[in-house]
Amino acid sequence: MDNKIVDLKDINVLSVKADNFPEGIGDAFIRLESKLPSLKGRKFYGTLLSKPEGAEYRACIVPLNENEISALAFEPYTIPGGKYCKTTVKDWENKTNDIKIVFNNLAQNQKVDNKRPQIEFYKSQKELILFLPVI
């Protein structure tokens, strides 16, 4: 895996909160994708933020234009920028159970910023980029 520290800018997205974590992740993406005319050319993200009341997972897309923001009626959300430890998971669709393990492994050698979410960027159906917020 290609672990490196990167600085991300804020990413403005439209989001759907999962009803529960981790069981509700798939349903959140289904609710998001079902309203889109096409998935082609879309940037998809997942975010996981630990809160005192439990984990908050969001399925997210970057809107293609301003009109989409009101037309799709999803919750606007800003994925916070900052310093992240980045790694890539190849063939992620066959390794969804390993994502938590990869994040835990990244955290072993980093000072984690728990005020920002962990980020999943679904670059393609075969490549997932994970970002762990670090201080």
In which order are the strands placed within the sheet that holds 54-61?
A: 4-8, 82-90, 127-133, 118-122, 44-51, 54-61, 11-17, 75-79
> How many whole angstroms separate alpha carbon 107 and alpha carbon 97?
17
Q: Report how many domains make up the chain.
A: 1
pLDDT in tens, 25-64: 999 999 999 988 888 889 999 999 998 888 999 999 999 8
Mean pLDDT of 1-7: 83
Tell me the residue range of the domain where 106 lies: 4-133
Assign residue 90 the CATH number of its domain.
3.20.80.10
**Any idea what the Cα angle at residue 49 is, between residues 46 and 54, rounded to 5°?**
120
pLDDT in tens, 87-127: 999 988 888 888 999 999 999 989 999 999 999 999 998 99
